[in-house]
Amino acid sequence: MPCTEDAMIVFDASGSMAGSLAEGIGAKIRRIDEVRKALAQALPRVTHFRKIGLITYGPGPYQQCNVTLDLRPTADAAQPILQTVGGLNPSGKTPLTEAVEQAAEVLDYKAKPGIVVVLTDGEETCGGAPCDLGEKLNREGTRLTVHVIGFRMTAFWTGAQSALDVQCLAKETGGLYIATNSQDELVRASRRRSGAP
């Protein structure tokens, strides 16, 4: 039953998530607020089926590569996850690779299957190599699938290469890279990737 594997959400709360969405005048909705709203819609449905945990990265000591394990896979985790994500103040760098690696370890990826869903708007900025990690997880793991939901990653500060890096991470593990540009697309992608049919 593919619906029973544990899952980890890796949530990007790095500095770029404080950016506002529209380039239009007076646009004040920050990226992180859009992602929070999408999670609030998607998660409750998903957590009925499987245990879900949370890793966040970004906030912490200034200009450091901070990764925090907030919650191990837990039943009915929607509330604690949304509470944690709701309290985040975006800052810091983007240790995307390290965060995914930690999520894999929490899921005990060498011993059992699992799913990691990465919600990010940016590229790795802490020297990690997402593509190499994907290869390693595929080689050493027991069916660990990494799905990457890239939120507005076509922004001017991330080059095409950064999207390719995370696409490769997903592809190496048999996961999907989904580019989303709106809250609705984000909700659909989150439900589809972490849910059950």
pLDDT tens digits for range 172-182 = 999 988 888 77
Residues, the chain: 197
pLDDT tens digits for range 7-51 = 999 999 998 888 776 555 555 778 898 889 888 888 888 888 889
CA 7 distance to own-chain centroid:
11
Distances (CA, A) of 194 to 62, 82, 136, 147, 165: 32, 15, 22, 9, 21
> Would you say 151 and 186 are in contact if contact means Cβ atoms under 8 Å apart?
yes
CA 135 distance to own-chain centroid:
18
pLDDT tens digits for range 60-81 = 888 789 999 999 999 999 999 9
Rounded to 5°, the CA angle 105-93-37 comes to 80
pLDDT tens digits for range 125-179 = 899 999 999 999 999 998 999 999 888 765 444 455 566 788 899 999 999 888 8
- Is this structure's pTM higher than 0.85? yes
Kindly give the pairing relationship between strand 144-151 and strand 52-57: unpaired
> What is the rounded distance in angstroms from the CA atom of residue 9 to the CA atom of residue 102?
11
Q: Which DSSP state fits 39?
A: H
> Would you say 119 and 12 are in contact if contact means Cβ atoms under 8 Å apart?
yes
